[in-house]
Amino acid sequence: MTNGKKEQNTQEFPDLLRENGLKVTSQRLRVLEEITHKNAAISQPDLEKIVGKDIDRVTLYRILSSFEEKGIVHKIFDLNGTATYAMCTSNCTENHHHDQHIHFICSVCNSVFCLDEVSLPKITLPPHFALHSLAINAVGLCANCQKED
């Protein structure tokens, strides 16, 4: 189980931004750090709490949507419909995401984990439905919350 991060250390963030035609700013680096910091996807509200002292709320919105647009991060909605963000693993390009992995959402702590190593099932749809991608959310108890039962 990973956070989907590309085994990339902090050093690589400026390159990541440049590759995507984005200027390297302290705010963007900070957001990248926070997103990769946790073992799970991070919600917009949580991000806001963490960086809110340093980064304007509006700027955060704009940074996150530009990251998503460029394929740097992907956006998952948790059980409450709250947007959460995780790094894209690979192959994600502008307006074309390949976040084809299962997400695990803990029903207790609401954490979102990207399960890159679990393979996607084959789904057969009824006639006249053309499948482009699958978004699978497995809901249950994460390791941490099981302990506390």
Partner DNA sequence: TTAAGTGCAAAATCTTTGCAAATGT
Partner DNA sequence: ACATTTGCAAAGATTTTGCACTTAA
Member of 7, 9, 11, 58 binding DNA (CB under 7 A): 58
C-alpha span between 118 and 115 (Å, rounded): 6
Q: In the window 102-131, what residues touch a second copy (CB under 8 A)?
A: 102, 104, 107, 113, 115, 117-118, 121-126, 128-131
55 binds DNA (CB under 7 A): yes
State yes or no: residue 53 binds DNA (CB under 7 A).
no
CA distance 115 to 100: 10
Q: Own/partner pairs for 46-51, CB < 8 Å, 24+ apart?
A: 47/85
In whole angstroms, the minimum distance from the beta carbon of 26 to DNA comes to: 6
Q: Which is nearer to a second copy, 72 or 114 (CB)?
A: 114
Sole residue written with tokens 């482009």: 132
* 29 versus 118: smaller Cβ distance to a second copy: 118
Instruction: Please report, as residue ranges, which positions from 7 to 46 form the binding site for a second copy (by CB under 8 A).
Output: none
Is 99 annotated to bind a ligand? Reply is: yes
* 103 burial level (CB within 10 Å; 0-12, 13-18, 19+): buried
Around Cβ 3, how many Cβ atoms within 10 Å?
19
Question: Known binding site: residues?
Answer: 97, 99, 106, 109, 142, 145
